[in-house]
Amino acid sequence: NKGIENRFRENNKDKNCLVMGMTPLGIKRSFTALLSNNGGETKEG
């Protein structure tokens, strides 16, 4: 059942990419909101 194993591995890879992609973005948004609340400059990107 190598097809099932490969599919499972691909699904895990997608989840890891989602987690690694979303977490820094959430942190950046929180940090940007914090800066703007403190009257600091916000920088995109």
Express each pLDDT in 1-45 by its tens digit.
Answer: 788 787 777 766 666 655 555 567 777 877 787 777 665 555 555
Task: Give the range of the structural domain holding residue 7, as residue numbers without chain letter.
Answer: 1-40
Q: With contact defined as beta carbons under 8 Å apart, do 35 and 41 qualify?
A: yes
In a domain, 45, yes or no: no
> How many folded domains does the chain comprise?
1
Farthest-apart Cα atoms in the chain, separation: 58
In a domain, 1, yes or no: yes
Q: State the DSSP string of 1-44.
A: -HHHHHHHHHHHHHHHHHHHHHHHHHHHHHHHHHHHHTT-----
In a domain, 11, yes or no: yes
In a domain, 34, yes or no: yes
> What is this structure's pTM?
0.30
In a domain, 22, yes or no: yes
